[in-house]
Structure 1
Amino acid sequence: MTWNAVTGHRALLGEAPFWDAPTQALYWVDIAGQQALRLIGANVQIWQMPEHVSAFIPCESGDALVTLSSGVYRLDLDSPGLEPRLTLFCVADPQPGNRANEARCDPLGRLWLGTMQNNIGEQGEDLPIERRSGGLFRIDRDARVTPLLRGLGIPNTLLWSDDATMLYFGDSLDGTLFQHFIHTDGNLDAAYVWFGPHARGGPDGSAMDAEGFIWNARWDGSCLLRLTPSGHVDRVIELPVSRPTSCVFGGEDLKTLYITSAASPLNHPLDGALLSMRVDVAGKPCIRFAG
C-alpha cells in the first residue's frame, strides 16, 4: 500500500473523518486547532470554531452538525470560514469540565456522542486525565438526548453491526475495544471485551469495511490494525505518522482510505497530515444526521 498526503494542512489534533458519498466530500476536524474542514475535489474549506470541535457531520437538511465543548451546534455551510453561523441544537453532556470527543451517526441517522474530561489547554497543550467523567449519549433528530453510558475515560470508535444490534465502542484509557448488545428499547447491555490492549499503541477511531472487518487507528503506534469480526488482528498497516487518530473509507468506490493524524513530540514531517491510500476492499458508507 502506498500513502499520500492529501493536503498541505497539518493539524494539532486531526480527527473524525467523514465521507459524504452524495457530494463526494470529506469532512474532518482539528480538535485542538478549533477547525472544521471540508475537502471537495482539491479545494479545502475551513471554518474556524470558537471552541474545541470534535466532529463535523453533514445533515439531511443541508447544513451540518459540529460537536463543540459547550454543546452540539448546527453550522450553516454557506457561512464564511472566519464568521461561521452556529445555532445551538442541544447540550448532551452538561458536566462542567467535559468536552465532546468521538461522534458518529448510527444506521438510523441518530448521533451518538462520547464525552470526556477536557484534556486540551488554551494553547492546545495536553492536560492530564484525572477523572473518568465522560459519557455516551444518543441524540435524535428532534434533539432529544438519551444517556447510555457513564464513567468513561477517553471514548473512541463508534461502529454498528449491519442489523444495528451490536455497538463497537472503545475507551482509550483502558486500551480496549468493547462490544455492547443494543436492546430493542435502545439501552445497552454490559460491555464485552472484544479486543484488548495491544503493543502497537492505543485504540483511537475506526472504520468498518464491507466484509465486517474493523480498521482501528493506533495512537502512538504509527499504524492501523485490521481486526477480524471475531476480534483478532488480520493485518498491520504501517503509516508514516506517529499518532494516527481515525480513518474512513471514501472515493466513488469506497476503496480510498483517509486517515487523520495528530502532532507529536517526535515531530515527524507528516504528523498532523490527512493521508489517503487505496485499499483492496470497499468500506461501509457514512450516515448523515437524519435531522
Structure 2
Amino acid sequence: MRAEVAVRERARLGEGPTWDAATGRLIWVDILSSRVHTYEPGSGRRTVLATEQHVGAAKPCADGGLVVNLRDGVGSYAADGSFSWLHREPVAGRRGNDAAVAPDGALWAGSMAYDETPGGGNLIRVAPGGAVTEILGDVTVSNGTGWSPDGTLMYYVDTPTRRIDVFDVVGERVCRRRELVTVEEGAGYPDGLTVDAEGCVWVALWDGAAVRRYTPSGVLDRTVRLPVRRPTACAFGGAGLGDLYVSSARVGLDSPSPLEGALLVVPGAGCGVPQPAFGS
C-alpha cells in the first residue's frame, strides 16, 4: 500500500478527516488556521469555511450542517451557514481538539491546553440537544476516539501517554479502562484513529511518518509508511469506504517538505465502518 496526495494543502495543523456519506465528501480541519475543508473525490470540488476560533474538529450533522469543536466550546453551522453554540465554556489557555460522533449520534469532544499542561484538557459528551457530560478529566492532549463496529468498546488516545486505551461502553458512559497498546519510543506518538469493519484500530503516528493497524487484541499487523513526518489522523472514505485518508501537519517542523500538511489517501487500504452524523 502506498500513500498518494489527495489534496496538496499546506495545512499548519491538519486534523480529523471524516467521510460524509450523505454528500460524498471528506471533511477535515486546519486547527491553527481556523479552517474547515471539504473535498469531493469524485469531482475534485473543494470548499473552505473560515471559523472565528481555532477549530479542533468538524463533523457532519444529520440536518446537513456541521458540528464543530472550537476554542471555547462546541457549536454548529446550519446548512444555510448560520452559527450557534451548543456548549460554550471558555477556559483561558485551552482549546478544543479531536472529536468523534458516537453510534448514538452524540459528539465526544476533547480539549487540551495550548501549552500541553498535564491534565489541562478533558473529554466531554455533547448530546444533540446540547446536554453535556464529562467523560474524562485530567487529560493532557485528548486525541483519537472511536468505537468498535458493534458499539460495545470505545478506543481513546491521550497522546503523551503513548497509549491507545480501550473502555467498555455502558449507556452514555464508559468504564473499565485498560491499555490496548503502548507505542514504543522512537516510533512516534499516537494521534487520531479510526476503527475498520474487522474491529481493528488504525492510528496516525505524529513524528512517526506512518499509520499503523492494531488488531482488537493489540497486535500490530500492518504499517503504512507516509511521505510526511507528522500525520495526525485517519478515516476511511470513498466508494465502499475502502480508501484511507490521512491528514498531516507542518507546524513545528524545520524545513518542512512540500507535502507536509497535505491530505493523503491510501487507496484500497481496507474497509471502514459508516460513521453516524451528529444528531442521527
Alignment TM-score, normalising by the size of structure 2: 0.93
Moved more, 4-13 or 138-147: 4-13
1: CA distance, partners of 2:149 / 2:196: 11
Question: Whole-Å Cα distance in 2 between the matches of residues 42 and 280 of structure 1?
Answer: 20
Whether the aligned pair in 2 keeps the contact of 1:139 and 1:145 (CA below 8 Å) is yes
Instruction: Tell me, in whole angstroms, the C-alpha distance in 2 between the residues paired with 1:254 and 1:213.
Output: 15
Residue identity over aligned pairs, in percent, reads 35
Whole-angstrom CA distance in 1 between matches of 2:202 and 2:104: 22
Match of 1:10 in 2: 10
Which of 55, 58, 67 is matched with 1:56 structurally?
58
3-state DSSP of counterpart to 1:6: strand
Q: What does 1:1-291 correspond to in 2, within 5 Å?
A: 1-40=1-40, 41-79=43-81, 85-91=82-88, 93-118=89-114, 128-184=115-171, 186-198=172-184, 199-263=186-250, 264-290=253-279
Local SS of the residue matching 1:182: strand
Q: Deviation at 1:77?
A: 4.2
State the distance in 1 between where 2:21 and 2:149 align. 18
Q: Is the 8 A contact 1:64 1:76 kept in 2?
A: yes
Q: Deviations over 1:6-31 (max 9, x none)?
A: 12321000000010112111100000
* Greater strand proportion: 2
Deviations 1:53-87 (A, max 9, x none): 011111111211111101211113444xxxxx321
5+ residue gaps, structure 1, are: 80-84, 119-127
Q: State the one-letter code of the partner of 1:24.
A: G
1:131-164 deviations in whole A, cap 9, x for unaligned? 3121111111111001111000111111112332
Match of 1:54, as an amino acid? G
Cα distance, 1:280 vs structure 2? 4.5
What's the CA shift for 1:97?
2.2
Deviation string 1:179-208 (CA, Å, 9 cap, x unpaired) is 112224x33224201111323100000111
Between the aligned partners of 1:28 and 1:234, the Cα distance in structure 2 is: 27
State the TM-score, normalized to the length of structure 1.
Answer: 0.90
CA distance in structure 2 between the partners assigned to 1:280 and 1:54 by the alignment: 26
Alignment partners' CA distance in 2, 1:195 and 1:181: 16
- Output the CA distance in 2 between the equivalents of 1:21 and 1:62: 11
Supply the AA of the counterpart residue of 1:271: E
Secondary structure at the aligned position of 2:134 is classed as strand
Give distance in 1, aligned partners of 2:209 and 2:68: 28
TM-align CA RMSD: 1.5
Which blocks of at least 5 consecutive residues in structure 2 are unaligned? none
Aligned pair count reads 275
> CA-to-partner distance for each residue in 1:72-111, whole Å, 9 max, x for gaps?
11113444xxxxx3211212x5433221111010111110
